[in-house]
Amino acid sequence: MSIYATPLSTMEQQACDWLEQQQTEMEARLWQLANINSGSYNLDGLAQVAETLAGWAKPLNCEISYIDLQPQTMVNTKGQIAAQPLGQALKLRQRPQAPLQVFLCAHMDTVFALDHPFQQVRQLDAEHINGPGVADLKGGIMVMLYALQALEASPLAESIGWTVLFNPDEEIGSPGSAHLFPQLAQDHHLGLIYEPCFADGNLAGERKGSGNFSAISHGKAAHAGRQHHLGRNAIRAMADFVRAIDQLNGQRDGVTINAGIIQGGDATNVVPDTCVMKFNIRTQQPSDELWCQQQLQSIMADINQADGISIELHGHFGRTPKVMTPAWQQLCELLQTCSQSLQMSIDFVATGGCCDGNNLAAAGLPNIDTLGVQGGNIHSDQEYMRLASLSERAKLSALLLLRLATAGPEIWLEGK
């Protein structure tokens, strides 16, 4: 690994110098991109983002295509199953025959819907901007596109092929795009994902897993005054269920359960016959999933014993915990040597949050998932990013790509 700790070569220095000069253009484009609303269900906005990115990808001289995604299946507040259409994914492909294949991923969606008050970018101070998605992760899209341009300008590019996936549904758990990852994992040696790094500049290491579930309780409606005894109260049944799942907290290391949304009933004088409750589970180890499933089944079986009451469960674990592997460790070490050459210092820190990096790791692809910009307060209207991190992180990615191209695929083949 010692060759990676060397100072920048002439070629690497040229790539970094070029990226430094792109800072102003990157800022301007980020501003433009973040001012387009692309909430996960705003299909028009997502299409506009995809079209903008396809235009900016032209200098990469790669193959550009769009992928239709299946609608998301959702449980609505009435407990009915509904299909929610999703946006298209955008894919870029370059040199599929090259010996080393790298997969790069960035999501186009944000958590801010079209009717959310937070819609515009503004300057916070000389060094920071505040805006929807400026850190998570439209800044990362800039970092990735410019790092790839720096790679393409180098003769080393010939030995490295890549695929970029811009997906439109990461913020809702990638329900439509997750099925693309197993194949992508198979076709590539390693993955680079452009979620923002932490505010202090460190990157995410191990990540918890996550599952989103909807429980629907069914009872029997009746007049609350005249025939209360004939009713079977679905809200009461759900209250029992919530209490029981909440008591699972603390029973298994690293597993947390959060009841997040509840809805049921129409009027105070009617025994409610339906109640819907949505909850999230975080896991630490892949084996936690089975434990949780067993607990949920046993709680449901208990509640379903009551006369006239039934609870059904929808949903699944969309993200498996991301746990360290030797190949991933090696990739992290390579990135750290790159950062040292750039006089940056980065560390990898475990987090309870999860992202597409979980899915890629589950599919067997070693990946670093926080190569995007430095920022904070994401998923809130206080979201900010540090402007200088655009070119800083683009240099880091470009250097990583150039050194991967130099090293070749052998070590990654062993690792996988």
Contact 203, 319 (CB under 8 A): no
Q: Which residue has the tokens 């503004």?
A: 122
CA dihedral angle for residue 212, residue 217, residue 223, residue 226, rounded to 10 degrees: -140
136 binds Zn ion (CB under 5 A): yes
3-state secondary structure (DSSP) of residue 52: helix
For residue 319, the minimal CB distance to Zn ion (Å) is 13
Using the contact rule CB under 5 A, the part of the chain among 115-123, 189-197, 320-328, 337-345 near Zn ion is 189-197
Cis, peptide link before residue 137, omega less than 30° from 0? yes
Using the contact rule CB under 5 A, the part of the chain among 133-141, 200-208, 288-296, 404-412 near Zn ion is 133-141
Binding mask 327-356 for Zn ion (x = CB under 5 A): ------------------------------
Nearest-angstrom CA–CA distance, 112 and 301: 38
Nearer Cβ to Zn ion, position 118 or 291?
118
Nearer Cβ to Zn ion, position 134 or 362?
134
For residue 84, CA distances in Å to 174, 176, 262 come to 13, 10, 20
For residue 400, the minimal CB distance to Zn ion (Å) is 20
Residues in Cβ contact with 282 at an 8 Å cutoff, skipping those fewer than 6 apart: 208, 209, 210, 254, 255, 256, 258, 352, 354
Nearer Cβ to Zn ion, position 137 or 402?
137
CA dihedral angle for residue 280, residue 86, residue 206, residue 392, rounded to 10 degrees: -140
373 binds Zn ion (CB under 5 A): no
Nearer Cβ to Zn ion, position 62 or 193?
193
Chosen residue from 49, 121, 137, 309 binding Zn ion by CB under 5 A: 137
Nearer Cβ to Zn ion, position 100 or 111?
111
For residue 54, the minimal CB distance to Zn ion (Å) is 21
235 binds Zn ion (CB under 5 A): no
**Sign of the CA dihedral running 217, 223, 224, 229:** negative
Residues that bind Zn ion (CB under 5 A): 136-137, 195
